[in-house]
Amino acid sequence: MLDFSQLVLHTERLVLRPLQTADAEALFAIFSNPDFMRFWSSTPWTQIEQARALIAADRQDLAQGLHLRLGVQRNEDGRLIGTVSLFKFDAQNRRAEIGYGIAPEVWRQGYVTEALHALLGHAFDELGLMRIEADVDPRNIASARSLEKLGFRQEGLLRERWRVGEDVSDSALYGLLAREFRTPAPERH
């Protein structure tokens, strides 16, 4: 059985680590922001208890290897700026899905690509996965570009797949195979 509860990944500018109780306020600030949640599969959070509940659930799930969600923390100031995740592990087919989100005030600084590169390296090299899948709202062009920088290819489109509040959206499905993963970190723009 996998145990992700002690996993920490380092990049040039970031630490990816399990969420802690002290992260609740920062996490709530991110997930309650309508700009951040615009392309998410749920509505913005309304209570800090939602952050606390996610952190508590993650502790159990990480220890049991059910999914891997890590907080993305900047080295320069120790600030939590988002999360990256691997979930829906399929051991037989050696695949999982990836999820991610970075606070809007730090968009377009290369943090998503940097964090995902580290997580993908761990997924392919340490966990032995052969395929990673992503589900992206096609209107989220920045997210699609981040995936494409890492070698993901769009493989399909599912129409009217998500209903969040009154909004209905499609899903662009992306895939990346281990043999296609670009080992050197992509350049920041």
Residue-wise pLDDT tens digits, 15-45: 999 999 999 999 999 988 887 767 666 678 8
The pLDDT value given to residue 188: 56
| pLDDT, tens only, 113-141 | 999 999 999 999 999 999 999 999 888 88
Sheet holding 95-102, edge to edge: 9-10, 14-17, 68-74, 80-90, 95-102, 131-136, 167-177, 153-164
The pLDDT value given to residue 139: 87
The pLDDT value given to residue 133: 97
110 lies in some domain: yes
Rg of the chain, C-alpha, whole Å? 16
| pLDDT, tens only, 134-144 | 999 888 888 99
pTM (whole model) above 0.95: no
The pLDDT value given to residue 185: 58
140 lies in some domain: yes
The H or E element spanning position 164 is strand 153-164
CB-side neighbour CA atoms (13 Å) of 125? 10
CATH number, domain of 152, equals 3.40.630.30
For residue 82, pLDDT beyond 70:
yes
| pLDDT, tens only, 139-179 | 888 899 999 999 999 999 878 776 766 777 778 999 999 99
List phi, psi (to 5°) of 27: -65, -45
The beta-strand segments (E) located in the chain are 9-10, 14-17, 68-74, 80-90, 95-102, 131-136, 153-164, 167-177
1 lies in some domain: no
188 lies in some domain: no
| pLDDT, tens only, 91-108 | 999 999 999 999 999 989
More confident position, 171 or 180: 180
CB atoms inside a 10 Å sphere around CB 169 = 20
* Residues 123 and 133: beta-carbon distance below 8 Å: no
Q: Which residues contact 111 (CB under 8 A, 6 or more apart)?
A: 13, 14, 72, 74, 81, 82, 102
The pLDDT value given to residue 166: 77
Its domain, for residue 64, covers 9-180
Structure tokens at 37: 């949640």
3 lies in some domain: no
Mean pLDDT calculated for residue range 54-70: 93
4 lies in some domain: no
* Residues 135 and 114: beta-carbon distance below 8 Å: no
Mean pLDDT calculated for residue range 60-89: 94
The total number of structural domains that make up the chain: 1
